[in-house]
Amino acid sequence: MTMLSPTIGQMALAQQIAEGAGRPNRGITHVSASRYVDPAWFAQEKAVLFDRLPQVIAPSALLPEPNMAVPHDSTGRPLLLARDKTGKAHVFLNVCRHRGTRLVEGQDTVCASRIACPYHAWTYALDGTLIALPRPETFPGLDKGEYGLKRLPTLEAGGLIWFSPVEDADFSEAATLGRDFDAFGMAGLHLFARRTHDVPANWKLIMDAFLESYHVTRLHSETIGPFFKDGITAADMIGGHQRSAVGRAAELADIDMGNWPQLRSAVTFAYSLFPAAEVVVSPDYVNLMVMMPQAVDHTLVEDFMLIPEAPQTEKAQQHWQRSWDLLDGSVFGSEDFRAAALGQEGLTSGAVTELTLGTLEGGIRQFHDAIEARIDQM
């Protein structure tokens, strides 16, 4: 069994906390309210970020075995996530190359070595290859090798599946992040549950909540707030992605930074994956949330809970179910997403022209800086 150990970057953040050095203090900053309510700005975000950049679509655990496929429509494209017989992950357009028919219906996982179009039965392997079609003599000269499924650029790294809508995708940052996630053993985790939330709010209001801890003991006072310790937040950037760690210097004083179990018990790591995904790493499980904007005031959020292994007993099943109900149902669903919806209502009213951010909310301003820099480059 491979022993897990922290990366240099993870240890560096922990060392900053131990030394009492948190996120740089930028003082009070602001974000224009228009960034959350202006349809024209939202259209630019869609074109520059979601129609061009590599982005997380799902955890590897969604496809735990070869010859599995899952339809996925929430990004605005008919996608098919697949793992072929060799174990390689792919993201295809879920469209038959014959006459453009949707290939796999519904949302359920398909376990099969091949997929046939429901219209004319053109049949594909899960690596996208067209392997058969009825009455091939009626297509004289057709080269099946040129009629495979349309594959979007795909990278699987550190237990996450990334894709890009454009061919010239640069996955170098995703590969770097993958080394951090390998340190948590994410590629070997089990998918306990997944759920898609329909949130009436701008996607950035949801992301903002995971970029600051100022709200935790207030918004979450009836759930996780009493267990939350105000500590030091240290953070850095990997390209446009924010990596953060929260802990208390006193608890790190006597810890061997190279002892990964000890370090993980004292420090909570989180990753805001640009443009719109969050990974929150707890000592015994991981939550992945993928934000998929539908409109300026409408976002679908898919939440995945990853645990060390499939529950082996009823007691274990009940334990993880309680954790899932608390986090997905209460903390995220009833608190974070409700706060985002209330924020959307308030900002849409025009009552405020800008959001005022304190020193504990600097990650939000940094996130918006990254968005604006991308749009300015176009």
Residue 81 bridge partners (DSSP): 70, 91
pLDDT band (50, 70, 90) for residue 171: very high
Cβ atoms within 10 Å of 168's Cβ, excluding its own: 7
Residue 68 bridge partners (DSSP): 83, 111
Question: Which comes out higher in pLDDT, residue 256 or 209?
Answer: 209
For residues 195, 198, 204, 209, the Cα torsion angle rounded to the nearest 10 degrees is -60
The per-residue pLDDT for 228 is 66
Instruction: Decide if 208 contacts 214 (C-beta within 8 A).
Output: no
pLDDT band (50, 70, 90) for residue 237: very high
pLDDT digits 0-9 by tens, 269-315 = 999 999 999 999 988 899 999 999 999 999 999 999 999 999 999 99
Q: Report the DSSP pairing between strands 114-116 and 110-111.
A: unpaired
What's the rounded Cα separation, in Å, for the pair 326 and 338?
A: 15
Cβ atoms within 10 Å of 270's Cβ, excluding its own: 21
Q: What percent of the chain has pLDDT over 70?
A: 98
User: Structural domain boundaries of the chain?
Assistant: 1-54+185-378, 58-169
- Which pairs count as long-range contacts for 372-377, CB under 8 Å and 24+ apart, including other chains? 374/48, 374/49, 374/53, 374/240, 375/44, 375/45, 375/48
Average pLDDT rounded to a whole number, residues 162-179: 96
pLDDT digits 0-9 by tens, 308-335 = 999 999 999 999 999 999 999 999 999 9
Which amino acid is located at 321 in the chain?
Q
Question: Which tokens hold the place of 14?
Answer: 């922990």
Pick 58-169's CATH classification: 2.60.40.420, 2.102.10.10, 3.40.109.10, 2.30.30.90.
2.102.10.10
The region of weakest confidence among 30-39, 57-66, 357-366 is 357-366
The region of weakest confidence among 119-133, 249-263, 327-341 is 249-263
- Which pairs count as long-range contacts for 221-225, CB under 8 Å and 24+ apart, including other chains? 223/326, 223/330, 223/331, 223/335, 224/326, 224/331
What's the rounded Cα separation, in Å, for the pair 274 and 122?
A: 37
**Residue 1 pLDDT greater than 60, yes or no:** no
Question: Which comes out higher in pLDDT, residue 78 or 216?
Answer: 78
The region of weakest confidence among 111-125, 144-158, 207-221 is 207-221
Instruction: Decide if 243 contacts 235 (C-beta within 8 A).
Output: yes
Instruction: Decide if 162 contacts 155 (C-beta within 8 A).
Output: yes
Question: Which tokens hold the place of 345?
Answer: 């209502």
What's the rounded Cα separation, in Å, for the pair 86 and 144?
A: 21
The per-residue pLDDT for 25 is 79
Peptide bond into 283 cis (omega under 30): no
Average pLDDT rounded to a whole number, residues 344-352: 98
CATH class of 1-54+185-378: alpha beta
**Residue 86 pLDDT greater than 60, yes or no:** yes
What's the rounded Cα separation, in Å, for the pair 276 and 50?
A: 9
Question: Which comes out higher in pLDDT, residue 224 or 1?
Answer: 224
pLDDT band (50, 70, 90) for residue 10: very high
pLDDT band (50, 70, 90) for residue 378: confident
Question: Which tokens hold the place of 105?
Answer: 């219906």
